[in-house]
Amino acid sequence: MKILLVDDDPFVGEMIAMVLRSQDYEVETAENGAEALDKFNARGDIGLVISDMNMPGMDGLELFRLLRQTGTKVPFILLTGDDASGRLADSGVDLYLLKDENIQETVVDAVEKFLGESGQ
Partner 1 sequence: MKPKENIREKMKSLREAYVRQLPDRVRDLEAFFERLKLDPMAFDGLSDFHRLAHSIKGSSASFGYKEMSDGALILERLLKTLLQSGDRPDDHRIADIGTRLGFVRDALSHLEDNDGGEDFRAYPALPSEPGKKTENRLVYLVEDDPYVLQNLFLQISFFGYEVRIFDELQGMSRAVREKQPAAIIADIIFPEGDLAGVEAVARLRKEFTAHVPVIFISARNDLLARLRAVRAGGDAYFAKPVNITDLIDALDALTRDKEEIIYRALIVDDDPEMAAYHALILQNAGMVTEVVNDPMKVYDPLIEFNPDIILMDMYMPGCDGMELSKTIRQMPAFFSIPIVFLSAETNTDKQFKAMSMGGDDFLTKPIKPEHLISSVAVRAERMRIIRSFMQCDSLTGLLNHTKTKEFLDVELAKASRRNGKLAFAMIDIDLFKSVNDTYGHPTGDQVILSLSRLLRQRVRKTDIVGRYGGEEFAVILLDTDTASALSIMDGIRDSFQKIRHLSGKGEFSSSFSCGIAVFPSYKDPTAICNAVDKALYSAKHQGRNRTVLAEGE
Note the residues at the interface with partner 1 (CB under 8 A): 8-12, 14-16, 18-19, 21-22, 24, 31, 52, 54, 56, 79-82, 99-101, 103-104
CB nearer partner 1, residue 8 or residue 93: 8
Residues 6 or more apart whose Cβ sits within 8 Å of residue 53:
59, 60, 61, 78, 79, 80, 81, 84
Closest approach of partner 1 to the CB of residue 69, in Å: 25
Q: Which is nearer to partner 1, 72 or 100 (CB)?
A: 100
Tell me how far, at minimum, the Cβ of 75 lies from partner 1, in Å. Answer: 21
For partner 1, the closer of residues 24 and 113 by Cβ is: 24
What are the strands, taking DSSP E only, across the chain? 2-6, 27-30, 46-52, 76-80, 95-98
Tell me the C-alpha distance between 47 and 84, whole Å: 24
Environment class of 119 (CB within 10 Å of its CB; exposed 0-12, middle 13-18, buried 19+): middle
Shortest distance in whole angstroms from residue 56 CB to partner 1: 7
Nearer to partner 1, 2 or 68 (CB): 2
